[in-house]
Amino acid sequence: MTANVTKAAGPPQAPGGARHEAGVRVVISQLTRTFGSLRALDGLSLEMAPGEFVALLGPSGCGKTTALRILAGFETADSGSVTVNGADVSPVPAARRDMGMVFQSYSLFPNMSALDNVGFGLRMRRLPTAERRQRAAELLDMVGLTGHARHYPHQLSGGQQQRVALARALAIEPKVLLLDEPLSALDAKVRLQLREQIRSVQQRLGTTTLFVTHDQEEALSMADRVGVMKDGKLEQIAVPDQLYARPATAFVAEFVGTMNRIPGELSGTGQVRALDTLVPVHGERPADGTGTVDVLVRPEGLKIDAVPGGNGIVTDRAFLGSVSRISVRLSGDVTVKVDHPSAAAGQFAPGESVQISLPGAAPVLVTQRR
Amino acid sequence: MAAVTDAGPASPPARVASAPAARRRRSLPVWRWIILLGAGIYFLIPLYAALRFSGFGTFGQVFSQTGFSDALILSVKLALVTTVLTLVLMVPTTIYVHLRLPRIRPLLESITILPIVIPPVVLILGVLDVSPPSLKGTPYLLALVYVILAMPFAYRSLDAGLRSLDLKTLVDASNSLGAGWPVTLWRVILPNLRTAVLSATVLTVALVLGEFTMASLDQYQTFPVWIVNFDQTSGPVSVAASLFALFVTWIFLLAITMMGGRTARRIGGGQVDLVSVAHQETGDSR
Amino acid sequence: MTTQVAPAAAPGPLGDPGAAAGRRSLTNLRRARDLAGVVPFTSYVLLGLVLPMGAILIGAFRKPVSGSFTLHNLHIASHGIYLHGFATSMELSLIASVVPGILGFLIAYAIFTARRGSVLRRVAITASGVFANFGGVPLAFLFIATLGNTGLATQWLTDIGFNPYNSGFDLYGLGGVALVYMYFQIPIMVLVILPAFEGLRPAWREAAQNMGARSWQYWRYVGVPVLAPSVLGATLLLFGSAFSAYATAEALTSGTIPLTSIQIGSFLNGNVLAGQQDVGFALGLGMVVIIAVVMLVYVCLQRRAARWLR
């Protein structure tokens, strides 16, 4: 998990002095869309600052792709509005919206070379041939595929195809760049390379960008802000480290990174007792009135000590690099994972008795007990 | 493809649609219906005309005509022999090639295109020239030649069925669990090829039952040949016999397609599809 | 089945030429053993296909009775009524491939744009499968009952004042035969071209839209070029099919139109002039050459289409 600490706490300004105009402001307001009995979008609202890279993150069926397609003009919303720099885009057909889209896979026109693919949008805008070819070549260069200009899609690897697709989308100098899970169909190593490339190109051009994915690592490492979606709504939108450190809801907490669930009892004073400690509760309390909840804590938020007769037994120890993740079984058949520096983790061998505790007074999230 | 949240591709125009797009989508259906209706009429009229021409009563007469049962029985016998021969030849060969000689597959594919390139008329010319009189004296010579005609379609069905399996892995797994070759073939490979074998059988049978060219030139009275020869005496009966032949063939095809579909849904392995059945027609029974 | 344990090679450094040669001959042996598995198939094809074809090749150049080499057969086969036969066959095949090609394309497009799973779509596809299997003799009789001199449709048309036979239509002539051929050629075209339509990924259309293309631009730059090889290939297939056809034409015309396939048939029936007994072989050779060329082009087009529509 790469929490990018160098990012500012809010959406950045578009880098000035770029040869393209500064990015546009996009406002999505209360979008709803129902397909038959399926409510794909349930009042989605989102604001994108000029030049901002926003990722929509969520599980399959959460509505993120629908939102993207509505923005692109391939779907229409049942209600709600989408404005670009203040102007409503719903009456504008997809072909006129000036938004470049990168699809999940196989979107390159198979009968055209890479160069012609990239230049297609420019051809539609009636650019003269020479200028079109030159611009397309420039973009292919930007994505590092100059040598492949004459190749056809079936002669390119998946990663190369997506790079051409990116170049094609950017060739028209779009107001907004839309990416629909562009890396999902690629293998891991290529995915990592492309992540960096997309991000650096976007920053260079300053294009407002919406990136849809179900891969949290991708979202957190690339975006200025990440919006976590569930059931057609935004659960939380924040910069990556906020999302990780201060998840607003239990869903976000468990979707981003790993979370432990520890049984606890609510006490009347806005606190919860778990692992024999009283800690303040952050956010909503489940409304079932029983007072029994699960407390959500990150692996690095638990303390582990080798103590004979402690509250847990080590079941597994996984080496993760500088940190080792130790699985401990507590009473009541609850298993937790605790992170501990590997250098000092040797004492926690499987079978050892340990004491797990909640240090400090950091507020925790609680959720309904499973 | 993408769009896991969308219910499907072209969704119906929404109420808040952008005008031009909505207009375009609404105008298509009319044009589409016209074409399909027109086609429907063209295809159904000859059937109707034939029914009217022969009258429903003549169907009964068909069965009582001289030579009907002999011709039909001959066709059925030929179909049986051809199918058995084709399967015995093609099933082991395709399995073998998939397992041991995967690089020969393109060559094999090209060989199986050959019978399509050689019209049946020409083929029978050559066959009759090289066959010894003993073979020429039996109708089963036709069965031997029909195997060649059936080969491309049998191969394609079996190849498609085999491609959908990971044959090597299955065989290796079976062997590692202690099964020898015969058991592996019988219990592991063939059951997974059920649909493909069924498809190949359907194609072969349909081919033989409808084959006229070679049978008539070899001067044996199979069912299609009988229908034509019979034309001399009674038009309506011939037409009725034709309808009967068509009817039987495609009820048979549909039944097996449905059976194949149900089996496919249980074990997987592709479907008997009418496209490959259609492809057979680009050669022989015409 | 890959558990063939090779006997240990002679001990020595890997660069030992003797051991290398031993390994090579072992591989050859194994390869020969593997090829043994396809012997039954190859011998059948040899006997059933190659042998007759060889007979045709020989027969085309053989002087009847004496058996010596001659070009006479070829000469006869390329002149007079036989040349006429080739020309007529090609004309017929052209009509019976291009027209069904276009119509089949339109029908396939109509089916393709119908909503997935709709009744219309399923009925149309099943019907195509069924009608593609009608043909040959039964079909000829069906059409005789429809458009023959006393056919049902002929009567209907005469009733509304238009007797097709007065306007030069003849079911037993070229136009009529072509019309009958269309009955199975159109469904074949539909079934062959529909998968090509399905191969048009929605992402292409959306990407084109996204780039600012209107509907006709999409078709012009992407749709038609991508479909073209398949459409051409399918039409060629139809051409080959029409050219080889025998049964339908024979049942309809009983030899009144000069068609190559029928002419070959008459050789087998013994309707042959003295000294020309082997001309049939030359005709057969001609047919095979023509179809082989057509199929070659078809295969090349298919390969191109497969690459693009993957």
C162 in reach of chain B (CB within 8 A): no
Residue-level pLDDT at A11: 38
Q: Which of A10-24, A174-188, A261-275, A346-360 has the lowest mean pLDDT?
A: A10-24
Q: What is the DSSP annotation of chain B?
A: ---TTSS-SSPPPPTT--HHHHHHHHHHHHHHHHHHHHHHHHHHHHHHHHHHHHTTTHHHHHHHSTTHHHHHHHHHHHHHHHHHHHHHHHHHHHHHHHHH-GGGHHHHHHHHHHHHHS-HHHHHHHHHHHS-HHHHTSTHHHHHHHHHHHHHHHHHHHHHHHHTS-HHHHHHHHHHTT--HHHIIIIIIHHHTHHHHHHHHHHHHHHHHH--HHHHHTT---HHHHHHHHTTT-HHHHHHHHHHHHHHHHHHHHHHHHHHHHHHHHH-S----HHHHHHGGGTS--
pLDDT digits (tens, 9 = 90+) for C57-78: 888 888 777 778 888 788 888 8
Residue-level pLDDT at A3: 40
Contacting residues of A for C203, CB less than 8 Å apart: 103-107
pLDDT above 70 covers a percentage of chain B that reads 77
Question: Does residue C9 have a pLDDT over 70?
Answer: no
pLDDT confidence band for A329 (50 / 70 / 90): very high
Question: Does residue A257 have a pLDDT over 80?
Answer: yes
- CA gap C297, C286 in Å, rounded: 17
- The helix (run of H) or strand (run of E) holding residue C81 is helix C80-113
- CA gap A238, A105 in Å, rounded: 28
Residue-level pLDDT at B172: 85
Interface mutation target, options B1, B4, B5, B16, chain A, most CBs of A under 10 Å: B5
Q: Do C188 and B279 touch (CB under 8 A)?
A: yes
Contacting residues of B for C201, CB less than 8 Å apart: 1
Residue-level pLDDT at A231: 92
Q: Do B97 and C38 touch (CB under 8 A)?
A: yes
- CA gap A183, C50 in Å, rounded: 52
Question: Does residue A9 have a pLDDT over 80?
Answer: no
Out of A268-272, C65-69, C223-227, the most confident range is C223-227
Question: Does residue A17 have a pLDDT over 70?
Answer: no
Interface mutation target, options C137, C230, C237, chain B, most CBs of B under 10 Å: C137
What does the pLDDT average to over C258-286? Answer: 83
Q: Do C213 and A120 touch (CB under 8 A)?
A: yes
Q: What is the DSSP annotation of A237-262?
A: EE-HHHHHHS-SSHHHHHHSS--EEE
* A362 or C146: which leads in pLDDT: C146
Residue-level pLDDT at B263: 53
Residue-level pLDDT at B257: 66
pLDDT confidence band for A202 (50 / 70 / 90): very high
| Inter-chain contacts counted by CB atoms under 8 A, chains A and B | 56
Question: How many C-beta atoms surround the C-beta of residue B110 within 10 A?
Answer: 10
Residue-level pLDDT at B231: 62
Exposed (0-12), middle (13-18) or buried (19+): which is C248, by Cβ within 10 Å? buried
Of the candidates C206, C211, C225, which has its C-beta nearest A111's C-beta? C225
Q: Do B286 and C138 touch (CB under 8 A)?
A: no
B171 in reach of chain C (CB within 8 A): yes
Contacting residues of A for C206, CB less than 8 Å apart: 72, 74, 94, 101, 103, 107
Q: Looking at chain C from residue 62 to 101, which residues have their Cβ under 8 Å from any Cβ of chain B?
A: none
Q: What is the DSSP annotation of A126-138?
A: T--HHHHHHHHHH
pLDDT confidence band for C23 (50 / 70 / 90): confident
What does the pLDDT average to over A193-203? Answer: 92
Nearest residue to A163 via CA among A185, A139, A180, A189: A139
Residue-level pLDDT at A64: 94
Q: What angle do CA A75, A76, A82 make, to 5 degrees?
A: 110
Cα C207–chain centre separation: 36
- CA gap C60, C78 in Å, rounded: 12
pLDDT digits (tens, 9 = 90+) for C163-192: 777 777 788 888 889 999 998 899 888 888
Give buried/exposed letters for A198-214 (b at 16+ CB in 10 A, else e). bbebbbebbbbbbbbbb
Residue-level pLDDT at B277: 43
Q: What is the DSSP annotation of A335-364?
A: EEEEEEEGGGGGG--TT-EEEEE--S---E
Of the candidates A104, A110, A172, which has its C-beta nearest C226's C-beta? A110
Residue-level pLDDT at C112: 83
The alpha-carbon gap from C230 to the nearest alpha carbon of chain A, in Å, equals: 13
Question: Does residue C221 have a pLDDT over 70?
Answer: yes
Interface mutation target, options C206, C209, C211, chain A, most CBs of A under 10 Å: C211
Question: Does residue C130 have a pLDDT over 60?
Answer: yes
- A86, B27 contact by CB (below 8 A): no
Q: Do A168 and C222 touch (CB under 8 A)?
A: no
- CA gap B57, A11 in Å, rounded: 85
- B86, C40 contact by CB (below 8 A): no
pLDDT confidence band for C200 (50 / 70 / 90): confident
Question: Does residue A198 have a pLDDT over 90?
Answer: yes
Residue-level pLDDT at B219: 85
Contacting residues of C for A106, CB less than 8 Å apart: 201, 203
Phi, psi of B163 (to 5 degrees): -65, -30
Q: Which of A340-344, B186-190, C290-294 has the lowest mean pLDDT?
A: B186-190
- C48, B135 contact by CB (below 8 A): no
Mean pLDDT rounded to a whole number for chain A: 88
- CA gap A285, A273 in Å, rounded: 14
Q: Which of A188-202, B29-43, C100-114 has the lowest mean pLDDT?
A: B29-43
- B213, B124 contact by CB (below 8 A): yes
Contacting residues of A for C309, CB less than 8 Å apart: 110
Residue-level pLDDT at A176: 95
End-to-end CA distance of chain A: 26
What does the pLDDT average to over C40-47? Answer: 89
pLDDT confidence band for B282 (50 / 70 / 90): very low
Contacting residues of C for B101, CB less than 8 Å apart: 34-35, 37-38
pLDDT confidence band for C1 (50 / 70 / 90): very low
- CA gap A166, A158 in Å, rounded: 12
Residue-level pLDDT at C18: 66
Residue-level pLDDT at B21: 38
Residue-level pLDDT at B3: 24
- C145, B50 contact by CB (below 8 A): yes
Q: Which of A51-55, A348-352, B263-267, C235-239 has the lowest mean pLDDT?
A: B263-267
Q: By three-state DSSP, how is residue C138 classified? A: helix
Of the candidates C206, C208, C308, which has its C-beta nearest A110's C-beta? C308
Q: What does pTM read for this prediction?
A: 0.75
Question: Does residue A46 have a pLDDT over 80?
Answer: yes
Q: CA dist A106 to A98, A159, A160, A170, Å?
A: 21, 11, 11, 17
Mean pLDDT rounded to a whole number for chain B: 75
Question: Does residue C219 have a pLDDT over 50?
Answer: yes
Q: Do B50 and C142 touch (CB under 8 A)?
A: yes
Contacting residues of C for A99, CB less than 8 Å apart: 210
* A218 or C301: which leads in pLDDT: A218
The alpha-carbon gap from C26 to the nearest alpha carbon of chain B, in Å, equals: 16
Contacting residues of A for C224, CB less than 8 Å apart: none
Question: Does residue C218 have a pLDDT over 90?
Answer: yes
What does the pLDDT average to over B92-96? Answer: 89
Residue-level pLDDT at C70: 81
The alpha-carbon gap from C198 to the nearest alpha carbon of chain A, in Å, equals: 14
Q: By three-state DSSP, how is residue A318 classified? A: strand
Contacting residues of B for C187, CB less than 8 Å apart: 278
Q: Do A38 and B7 touch (CB under 8 A)?
A: yes
pLDDT confidence band for A318 (50 / 70 / 90): very high
Q: Looking at chain A from residue 22 to 41, which residues have their Cβ under 8 Å from any Cβ of chain B?
A: 35-36, 38, 40
Question: Does residue A127 have a pLDDT over 80?
Answer: yes
pLDDT confidence band for B60 (50 / 70 / 90): confident
* B109 or C244: which leads in pLDDT: C244
Question: Does residue A7 have a pLDDT over 60?
Answer: no
Residue-level pLDDT at B261: 61
Residue type, C150: T
Question: Does residue B167 have a pLDDT over 70?
Answer: yes
Q: Are strands A79-84 and A26-35 parallel, antiparallel or unpaired?
A: antiparallel
Residue type, C47: L
pLDDT above 70 covers a percentage of chain C that reads 91
Beta-carbon contacts of residue B286 (< 8 Å; ≥ 6 apart): B213, C135, C136, C184, C241, C244, C245, C246, C247, C248
Q: Do C137 and B121 touch (CB under 8 A)?
A: no
Question: Does residue A327 have a pLDDT over 80?
Answer: yes
- CA gap C135, C119 in Å, rounded: 26
Q: Do A60 and B2 touch (CB under 8 A)?
A: no
Question: Does residue C273 have a pLDDT over 80?
Answer: no
Question: Does residue B141 have a pLDDT over 60?
Answer: yes
Residue-level pLDDT at A266: 85
Question: Does residue A175 have a pLDDT over 60?
Answer: yes
pLDDT confidence band for B210 (50 / 70 / 90): confident
* B286 or A148: which leads in pLDDT: A148
pLDDT confidence band for B42 (50 / 70 / 90): confident
pLDDT confidence band for A336 (50 / 70 / 90): very high
Contacting residues of C for A168, CB less than 8 Å apart: 207, 211
Residue-level pLDDT at C267: 83
Residue-level pLDDT at B28: 59
Question: Does residue A81 have a pLDDT over 80?
Answer: yes
